[in-house]
């Protein structure tokens, strides 16, 4: 564990795709932070829309702008940003988005919690703005267990703001095969070794756009990779928390649902384009 510091350096990742104006809005929220020791990495995921004008407005030396040669999705772009921040030696990492805005005191409050609880590696706080019906906000500050309270519990649900110690994250990354969502490949191994402290501060404003993932989600997987992910998540959890009985229960449930999901997926793909 790194020794606590009064002014930790935060590394922030903002992936962006075809939304230069939203990217600038998200960047403005970072520039407005009351805690000023940060580095922001913006990762353009091979956008078709020009970012030339927007990039000329990124004058702060704390901002790093990267462009990917091929579009790989949000998770791959996040990994690109994390790798860059790791090379720069930041203390803590925070992932945001071009459709999200950090509260001006987001980093200030996170730094305060880090000073108060230096034995913890992972700090989770609330978001505000758009919410899913199933969301559960953090109401009480204290230690939590991601497996018990989030993955297999109902205490915490929905989008949250995550601040993670860089040395604890190490080589753990998002799975680039999943273009978006599916953050469990990072959170499961992280939760197996990191101590989690949660607090109810509304650190980040989120918006579910009409063309975004949340408003276009489906009850049934749309690809074989999505079918696989429903099962793999719980199998992966078992490898990191083998005594977690709920993981076996959910794994069995997902396995039983898999034949129907594959049948529905094949049926959808066999339909003529006009009937979809």
pLDDT per residue over 241-251, tens digit each? Answer: 999 999 999 99
What is the domain-level CATH number for residue 96?
3.90.550.10
Q: Is residue 182 part of a domain?
A: yes
**Which pTM does this prediction carry?**
0.90
Residue 212 has pLDDT above 50, yes or no: no
Are 225 and 209 in a shared domain? no
pLDDT, residue 136, reads 84
Instruction: Dihedral sign for Cα 41, 42, 46, 50, please.
Output: negative
Burial classification of residue 66, based on how many CB atoms lie within 10 Å of its CB (0-12 exposed, 13-18 middle, 19 or more buried): middle
Q: What is the CA radius of gyration of the chain?
A: 19
Are 62 and 51 in a shared domain? yes
What percent of the chain clears pLDDT 90, i.e. is strictly above it? 83
| Nearest alpha carbon to residue 161 among 116, 213, 119, 105 | 105
Are 193 and 238 in a shared domain? no
pLDDT, residue 222, reads 86
Query: Domain containing 23: what range?
Result: 10-215
Of 194, 215, 236, the one marking the end of a domain is 215
Strands (E) in the chain, as ranges, are 10-16, 38-44, 63-67, 92-95, 100-102, 122-129, 142-144, 161-165, 196-206
pLDDT, residue 116, reads 98
**Rounded Cα distance, 204 and 139, in Å:** 16
Q: Is residue 276 part of a domain?
A: no
* Cα distances (Å, whole numbers) of residue 8 to 183, 195, 206, 227, 232: 25, 18, 25, 40, 35
Are 239 and 143 in a shared domain? no
Length of the chain: 276
Are 199 and 244 in a shared domain? no
Number of domains in the chain: 2
pLDDT category of residue 276 using cuts at 50, 70 and 90: very low
pLDDT, residue 271, reads 77
Are 22 and 146 in a shared domain? yes
Are 63 and 152 in a shared domain? yes
pLDDT, residue 245, reads 97
Are 66 and 44 in a shared domain? yes
């Amino acid at each position: 564990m790194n020794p606590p510091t009064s002014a930790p350096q935060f590394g922030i990742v903002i992936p962006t795709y075809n939304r230069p104006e939203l990217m600038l809005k998200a960047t403005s929220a970072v520039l407005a932070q009351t805690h000023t020791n940060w580095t922001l990495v913006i990762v353009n995921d091979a956008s078709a829309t020009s970012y030339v004008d927007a990039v000329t407005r990124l004058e702060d030396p704390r901002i790093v702008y990267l462009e990917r040669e091929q579009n790989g999705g949000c998770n791959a772009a996040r990994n690109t940003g994390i790798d860059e921040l790791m090379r720069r030696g930041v203390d803590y990492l925070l992932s945001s988005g071009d459709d999200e805005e950090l509260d001006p005191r987001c980093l200030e409050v996170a730094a305060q919690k880090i000073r108060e609880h230096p034995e913890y590696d992972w700090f989770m706080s609330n978001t505000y703005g758009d919410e899913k019906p199933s969301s559960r906000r953090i109401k009480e500050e204290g230690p939590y267990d991601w497996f018990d309270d989030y993955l297999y519990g109902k205490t915490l649900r929905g989008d949250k703001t995550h601040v993670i110690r860089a040395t604890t994250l190490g080589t753990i990354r998002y799975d680039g095969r999943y273009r978006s969502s599916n953050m469990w490949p990072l959170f499961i191994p992280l939760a197996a070794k990191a101590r989690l402290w949660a607090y109810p501060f509304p650190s980040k404003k989120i918006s579910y756009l009409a063309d975004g993932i949340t408003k276009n989600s489906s009850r049934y997987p749309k690809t074989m990779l999505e079918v696989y992910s429903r099962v793999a998540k719980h199998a992966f959890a078992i490898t990191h928390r083998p005594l977690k009985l709920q993981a076996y229960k959910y794994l069995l449930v997902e396995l039983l649902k898999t034949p129907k999901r594959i049948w529905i997926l094949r049926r959808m793909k066999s339909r003529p384009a006009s009937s979809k």
